[in-house]
Amino acid sequence: MIVSSLRRYPVKSLGCELLDTAVLEPQGLQFDRRWVLLDEAGTILTQREVATMALIDVHASADGLHFPDLLENAVPWPEGPRDCEGSLWGTPHALRLADASVSDTLSRQLDKPVRLAFQCDPQARRARFDGGDSAVNLADDLPLLITTEASLEALNSELSNGVPMDRFRPNIVIADTPAWDEDHWLRLRVGGCILRVTQKCTRCIIVTINPKTARRPNKTEPLRTLARLRKHTGAPTFGVQAVIEQTGSISVGDTCEILERHGD
């Protein structure tokens, strides 16, 4: 088992950044989903509401956010206390707004008023479905999403038109496993890190959106097929979610070792 790709989403629901190496912090990959877009009511937006968010390319570095197609200069990491709140799943989170000119540029691109905001304290938010023991960035539920190439191949064998891995927005993709083997993982070592798998990842309408076009070529797939093949607590699933037991760095090509399986 090896890591075949690493993926980061510096702004929740915007474009994917492919990495060769990533630092894994307690709340997830460094710089992953620390920024969000807010609507006028202060709700954190996702592709569920604005599919064209997928088309905005963004990268993160130590000096801030980079929008190569939209802005010449990096958006610096904000300093100072919170100056707004954003609601995710009905829970408010302390945020700090980026410069208004950046939000204006993004608003024009999306044809919708939005504000770019930063998660002030990455340790403040506690992961859902982990008893509040783990910190989490502004991902929906848990710090990490792990998928496998074999499971995607198994899913695509059931579809008339296969879908690429980017539909599922994973952080870590693992190769050289049996299909659906991730269902049985409990703890694993990836590079220099130890991860604990907490649950299967239930999927929503976002997996029907082509991130290269922001369109839904088939409004039911792959959700309908996942619902037939892979259902957990009444919802279709693909991939597993995990928390971080030991931080460190991971790289494409790193070996993955299963330390513990369910039932061991």
For residue 132, pLDDT beyond 80: no
Please state whether beta strands 59-61 and 64-66 pair in parallel, antiparallel, or not at all (unpaired): antiparallel
Query: Looking at residue 130, what is its pLDDT?
Result: 61
The residue extents of the domains of the chain are 2-9+20-25+128-261, 29-119
This prediction's pTM:
0.93
Architecture of domain 2-9+20-25+128-261: Beta Barrel (2.40)
110-139 mean pLDDT: 81
Write the pLDDT tens digit of every residue in 137-159.
888 888 999 999 999 999 999 99
Confidence of residue 173 (pLDDT cuts 50, 70, 90): very high
pLDDT at 84: 79
Q: What percent of the chain has pLDDT over 70?
A: 96
Output the DSSP codes for the chain: -EEEEEEE-SBTTS--EEESEEEEETTEETTTT-EEEE-TTSBBP-TTT-GGGGG---EEETTEEE-TTT-SS-BPPP-SS--EEEEETTEEEEEEEPPHHHHHHHHHHHTS--EEEEES-TTTSB-TTTTT-SB--SSSSSSEEEEEHHHHHHHHTT-SS---GGGG--SEEEES--TTGGGGEEEEEETTEEEEEEEEEE--GGGGSBTTTTB-SSSSTTHHHHHHH-EETTEEEEEEEEEEEE-EEEETT-BEEEEEETT-
Query: How do residues 197-213 score in pLDDT, each as one tens digit?
Result: 999 999 999 999 999 99
Give the per-residue pLDDT at 89.
75
